[in-house]
Amino acid sequence: MNRIVTWIASLPALALCVCASAAEIDWSKVDQAIGKKGSDLPGGVHKYGLPRSDLHVTVDGVAIKPALALGSWLAFQPSGDGAMVMGDLVLTDTEISPVMQRLIEGSIEITAVHNHLLRTSVPVFYMHVGGHGDPVKLAEALRAGLALSKTPLSQGAPPPPSTALELDTAAIEKTLGYKGTANGGVYQFSIPRAESVSEGGMAVPPSMGTSTALNFQPTGGGKAAITGDFVLLGSEVKAIVKTLRQHGIEVTALHSHMIDDSPHLFFMHFWANEDAQRLAQGLRAALDLANVKRGS
d(CA 112, CA 127): 6
Is 80 exceeded by the pLDDT of residue 161?
Answer: no
Task: Write down the pLDDT at residue 158.
Answer: 60
> If you average pLDDT over residues 157-174, what whole number do you get?
82
3-class secondary structure per residue, the chain: CHHHHHHHHHHHHHHHHHHHHHHCCCHHHHHHHHCCCCEEEHHHEEEEEEECCCCCCEECCEECCHHHHCEEEEEEEEECCEEEEEEEEEEEHHHHHHHHHHHHHCCCEEEEEECCCCCECCCEEEEEEEEEECHHHHHHHHHHHHCCCCCCCCCCCCCCCCCCCCCCHHHHHHHHCCCCEEECCEEEEEEEECCCCEECCEECCHHHCCEEEEEEEEEECCEEEEEEEEEECHHHHHHHHHHHHHCCCEEEEEECCCCCEECCCEEEEEEEEEEHHHHHHHHHHHHCCCCECCCC
Task: Write down the pLDDT at residue 163.
Answer: 74
Task: Write down the pLDDT at residue 154.
Answer: 81
Is 50 exceeded by the pLDDT of residue 119?
Answer: yes
Task: Write down the pLDDT at residue 295.
Answer: 80
Indicate whether 52 belongs to any domain.
Answer: yes
81 and 191 share a domain? no
User: Position 201: which residue type?
Assistant: G
98 and 57 share a domain? yes
135 and 193 share a domain? no
35 and 121 share a domain? yes
37 and 105 share a domain? yes
Q: What are the phi and psi torsion angles at 204 (to 5°)?
A: -115, 110
Structural domain that includes position 105: 23-146
Task: Write down the pLDDT at residue 160.
Answer: 60
Task: Write down the pLDDT at residue 156.
Answer: 62
Task: Write down the pLDDT at residue 1.
Answer: 44
> If you average pLDDT over residues 143-166, what whole number do you get?
83
222 and 126 share a domain? no
Task: Write down the pLDDT at residue 5.
Answer: 38
Indicate whether 157 belongs to any domain.
Answer: no
| Burial of residue 289, with CB atoms counted within 10 A of its CB: 0-12 exposed, 13-18 middle, 19 or more buried | middle
pLDDT tens-digit map of 2-29: 443 333 344 443 333 334 334 589 999 9
Task: Write down the pLDDT at residue 155.
Answer: 67
242 and 173 share a domain? yes
Task: Write down the pLDDT at residue 82.
Answer: 94
Lowest mean pLDDT among 94-108, 159-173, 276-290: 159-173
Percent of the chain with pLDDT over 90: 85
Indicate whether 126 belongs to any domain.
Answer: yes
Is 70 exceeded by the pLDDT of residue 216?
Answer: yes
**36: domain CATH number?**
3.30.70
The pTM for the full model equals 0.90
Indicate whether 155 belongs to any domain.
Answer: no
204 and 260 share a domain? yes
> If you average pLDDT over residues 25-48, what whole number do you get?
96
Indicate whether 13 belongs to any domain.
Answer: no
Q: Which of 85, 111, 146 is the last residue of a domain?
A: 146
Task: Write down the pLDDT at residue 24.
Answer: 82
123 and 181 share a domain? no
Indicate whether 164 belongs to any domain.
Answer: no
Q: Which of 131, 146, 161 is the last residue of a domain?
A: 146
Q: Which of 146, 161, 187 is the last residue of a domain?
A: 146
Indicate whether 293 belongs to any domain.
Answer: no
Number of domains in the chain: 2
CB 193 within 8 A of CB 291: yes
Is 70 exceeded by the pLDDT of residue 34?
Answer: yes
Indicate whether 9 belongs to any domain.
Answer: no
141 and 190 share a domain? no
